[in-house]
Homo-oligomer: A and B are copies of this chain.
Amino acid sequence: MGTQKKTTIKDIANVLGLTPSAVSKALNNHPRISEKTKVSVQQVAKNLNYQPNHLASALRKGKSNLVGVIIPRANSNFFSAVLQSIEDVLHEKGYNIIISQSYESFEKECRYIDALLFTQVDGIIASMANETTDFSYYEKIKSKGIPLILFDRGENALGVDYIGIDDYKSSHLIVDHLVSQGCKRIAHIAGFSHTRIYKNRIKGYEDALEKHDLPLDDALVYECKLTKQNGREIMEQLLEQPNRPDAVYVAGDYAALGALQVLKEKNISIPDEIAIVGFGNEPFTSLVTPSITTIEQHSTEIGRLTAEAFLRRIEEAAIPPTLNKMILEPELIVRDSSDKK
C-alpha cells in the first residue's frame, strides 16, 4: 500500500501490445493514430489510473508550463486580485503558477528569481519590491530568453512588457477633486521617488498644483515607505507646521489610514479641517469611519492583461521584441474623508 509504482505510458503499451510511442501519440491526439486505438488507449489509461509524468514531457519538450509570479505580498487586495486574475487566465491555458512573495525585500526577490529560473519556468511575471533599484537580476531573466512581464511596479528601462495604471493622471484626479472641495494647501505623503510609479504620482501632484495656480511647497511633500506607521508620523509632523495643510494626498491606503487615525485622535474634523485621500482602494478604506476617498486600480483588468501579454510572448516567440506598454485609466472613488457635501 502507499507507494505502488506509478503507471507509465509503457504499461499501457504492454496491455495493448503497442509501443510507448503509439500510446503517446494516441494520448496527444496525433492525426496518424486510428480512432480505434485512441479509444482503447484512453480506456486502459483510465483503468490503470494513468497520470502523465509532467517532468518527463517538460524535459523532452523543453517547456515546463510553469510560470513564476513575484509580488511584494499576497496579503493585499490589489495584488491578490491581480493574482486571481492571472491565475484564471493562465490555468485556462494549462499553466501552473509558482507564487513568490518578496515582502518588499530586494534580497528575497533575487533569490526567488534564481529559484524560478532553476525550476525552468516558461516565464516570469513580476511586480518589483520597493527596495529594488538594481535590475541586474531582471536582466538575467531577459538574457535567458524567457518572457518577463512587469505590472504596477515596473521599470521601463528594462524594455519589457509593462501593465499599470496612469499614476500621473491619478494625481490630477485627486488634486482636481480636492481643489473642487475648496482645498488650497494640499500636502503629499509620497512613496520613494526612485520607484517609477511614485515618481509619476509626485510629478502629477506638482503639475496639477501648478495647473490650479497653487504654490509648490517642499515642506508639504514627504517620501516614505507608506506604512500605516509612516502615515501617522508624517501626519503628526504636518500638524506641527505653522501653516497647516487643509488636505493630504497619501500615495497609499495604509499610510492614509495612519494619517486618518492621528486626526481622529486629535479631534480634527475630517474632511472639513483636513481632507484625506488615499490610493489603492483597499477594502478597509470603505470600512473605516470616515470612509476614505481613494483610487481604484482595476486590478482584475491588470491581471488579465498581464497574463495575456505573457501568452502573447510565448506564442509569438521572439517576433515583436519591442516594449509593449499598457496604461489603464485610474478611477477616483470619492468617500467621506474628502467629500464636504
Contacts and interface: CB of A to CB of B under 8 A. Distances in A.
A74 B80 contact: yes
A18 interface: no
A1 to B, nearest CB: 8
B118 A52 contact: yes
A75 B73 contact: no
A6 B287 CA distance: 52
B120 A53 contact: yes
A87 B58 CA distance: 25
A300 interface: no
Contacts of A283: 284
A64 B55 contact: yes
A340 interface: no
Nearest to A84: B101
Interface residues of A, number: 51
Mostly, the A contact residues are mixed
Contacts of A220: none
Contacts of A289: 264, 288-289
Interface in A76-97: 76-77, 80-81, 83-84, 87, 91, 96-97
Q: Which of A53, A58, A64 has most chain B Cβ within 10 Å?
A: A58
A96 B70 CA distance: 13
A54 interface: yes
A127 B251 CA distance: 35
A309 to B, nearest CB: 17
A268 interface: no
Contact of A257 (B73, B97, B287): B287
Contact of A74 (B58, B74, B91, B145): B74
B87 A80 contact: no
Contacts of A4: 145
Contacts of A219: none
Contacts of A157: none
Contacts of A91: 111, 115
Interface string A95-126: 01111110100000001000111111000000
A302 interface: no
20 contacts: A2-B321, A3-B145, A51-B144, A53-B120, A55-B59, A55-B64, A66-B98, A66-B119, A74-B74, A74-B99, A75-B80, A84-B103, A96-B115, A96-B119, A98-B98, A98-B99, A257-B287, A284-B284, A287-B287, A288-B288
